[in-house]
Structure 1
Amino acid sequence: MQLTFDAVIKAQTFSWVLELQMYCNIIACLVTVAGLFISGEWKGITAEFEGYKTGKTSYILTLIGTAVGWQVFFIGLVSLLSLISSLFANVISTLALPLVPVFAVIFFHDGMNGVKVLAMLIAIWGFLSYIYQHYLDDSKAKKVEEDSRKEINQFASLP
């Protein structure tokens, strides 16, 4: 995304953030709708709607809430990317992954099963790996800088 802003768009304004988000969503929507019809899953939408445990209104509100939530998340993420840096946006999105199952348990009273625990542990592991790799890269850069400083000082002290 940052490459798109820097190389293709050559601007990082909020209107471009919204426009890029819109284009990504249109493509995702088209691919999802095509997959829905190709697989034949569209036939089960009415049964799913009718059989939703907490009612039709709750089903519609859940769909709307999910759509709005994802839009807010992605606009915020692309905004972070365009205004701050891709590194910070990646850290925030990676940090948010393990929080999703926790919020599902707290707000939706969803059960915490083995799959959710495993997904949460993998997400935490990914986040820690990301931070550790950043630490290693930073340490390596500092060492290279320190070595070049020593070489410059060594050459400066020659007669």
Structure 2
Amino acid sequence: MLVYQSLVASVIVVVGLFASGEWEHLGREMDGYELGKVSYVMNLVGTAISWQVFGIGAIGLIKDVSSLFSNSNGVMGLPIVPILAVVFFGDRMDGIMVMSMIFAIWGFISFVYQHKLDVAMLKAQRNSVDGDEVSASSPLNAPIARVGG
């Protein structure tokens, strides 16, 4: 699944690159990169590898835990990127960035709180079965048939 997504995304980006004519400016962009051509290529390769590792990790979370947990981890990363952009690149923090960060944090906190409620409900159910609150229709309260007496 990840390979097909990456393949389709790559084809769309390459078609867009050639259709817009931006491919002619790639050489100038690489030459104008402050740290040099090798660093430019290493940056692109590192970014591509990082996205693949992220995708594999997300699929691993879906397989081992749940898709909701994987999605909530992805959403929790959303506020981190704008904060890092402000700190390291001097980017401006505008209202849209603040709202997206608030919603991402709110969604993650809602997921954690719902998980806490689910665990508490499961513990309460276990305690009611293990404790004295066993219902009359439970097999544990069924009469025992005695043989011979």
Q: TM-score, normalised by structure 1?
A: 0.62
Q: Does 1:124 align with 2:105?
A: no
Alignment: residue pair count: 118
The AA in structure 1 aligned to 2:33 is Y
Q: Secondary structure at the match of 2:46?
A: helix
**CA deviation map 1:61-110 (0-9, x unaligned):** 1111111111111110111112211110011000011112344566xx32
Out of 87, 90, 94, which is 1:111 matched to?
90
Identity among equivalent positions (%) equals 37
Separation (CA, whole Å) in 2 of partners of 1:47 and 1:78 = 37
What runs of 5+ residues in structure 1 fail to find an aligned partner? 1-19, 143-159
Aligned equivalent of 1:49: 30
- Quote how far apart the aligned CAs of 1:129 are: 3.9
Q: CA RMSD in A?
A: 2.8
State the alpha-carbon separation in 1 of the partners of residues 58 and 98 from structure 2: 20
* Paired residues for 1:65-80 under 5 Å: 65-80=46-61
Residue type of the alignment partner of 1:84: V
Segments of 5+ residues of structure 2 without an aligned counterpart are 122-149
How many angstroms does 1:122 deviate by?
1.2
Normalised to the residue count of structure 2, the TM-score between the two structures is 0.65
| Local SS of the residue matching 1:114 | coil
Equivalent pair of 1:98/1:121 in contact (CA under 8 Å): no
Rg bigger for which structure?
Answer: 2
CA distance in 2 between counterparts of 1:120 and 1:81 reads 29
